[in-house]
Amino acid sequence: MSTYKEIKRAADLVKHSLGPADIGVILGSGLGGFEEQLREAAEISYDEIPGFPRSTVAGHAGKFVAGMLGNKRVLVMSGRFHSYEGYGMNKVTLPVRVMRLLGIKTLIVTNAAGAVNTDFKPGDLMLIEDYINLSGRNPLRGKNLDRFGPRFPDMTYAYDRELRQITQEEAEKLGIDLKRGVYCWMNGPSFETPAEIRMARTLGADAVGMSTVPETIVARHSGIKVLGISSITNMAAGVLEAPINHEEVLAAAEIIKIPFRQLVSAVIARLPQEEIVEM
């Protein structure tokens, strides 16, 4: 478990390099490039931040980029960390704790996901309404960090209802057929088996992936509002007879980039401009 002192040390360096922010965006596999829209942008590599691990997965740039999008100060995490890379939950979620210390109140967390719902297809965007944690892990295990939040945080509305409503409205304006569903987190790095996908479907999952849930839990523990969006890059195992590979996931994510960028930018424009309050 990272201590408050360790988290603050990392946050202080990021703040010195990039300044504070009020909106955070975590980009999933293949979704890098969103940060190119930011004005007056500055960046810092994860390698330069004390205590940060390295992102080792293709499609993850491994840097924070901060700048202005409209009149909002946005911090983009271009590339995330995953537990399947060998990192503990404290390392996977460290960036979210850092974001909280920088004053971020709203987090948009995104991912590339496989479709469990057979009504979905590659190229769709899915608004995450809830999650199922089948990883057997929880990032809040261990001593509670009382400065961030309570021992037993509520997850009834893990994904903020108002943010979801705004996202649906903006998708309609843009003509995007935004799907809605439940995201299921599994450990990886192997793709799920057809039997596991049948189980996930029976439990109520619409999409499956290897990230997002730990960041969501820690953000909610810290009082950050969360919006989740999945880019459907493939049909999950067993839905089609074709095997799955990461290169195809990245290629599909590339196609989704334009509507994804339009939607996230429109949502950010709708968010109220709040005073940045650092912890």
Catalytic residues: 29, 60, 82, 84-85, 112, 210-211, 234, 246
Integer CA distances (angstroms), 53 to 10, 64, 88, 243, 257, in order: 12, 13, 10, 31, 26
Helices (H), 19-160: 89-92, 94-101
Q: State the Cα–Cα distance between residues 81 and 94, nearest whole angstrom.
A: 9
Structure-block tokens of residue 7: 């988290």
Longest dimension (CA), the chain: 51
Angle CA 172–178–183, to nearest 5: 150
Tell me how crowded residue 157 is: count the other CB atoms within 10 A of its CB. Answer: 15
What is the secondary structure of 265-278 as a DSSP string?
Answer: HHHHHHS-------
| CB 110, CB 229: distance < 8 Å | yes
Q: Which of 109, 122, 143 is nearest to 215 (CA)?
A: 109
Q: State the Cα–Cα distance between residues 190 and 187, nearest whole angstrom.
A: 8
Q: State the Cα–Cα distance between residues 259 and 174, nearest whole angstrom.
A: 8
Query: What pairing do the DSSP bridges indicate for beta strands 23-27 and 39-45?
Result: unpaired
Three-state secondary structure call for residue 242:
coil
Q: State the Cα–Cα distance between residues 20 and 35, nearest whole angstrom.
A: 16
Structure-block tokens of residue 262: 């339009």
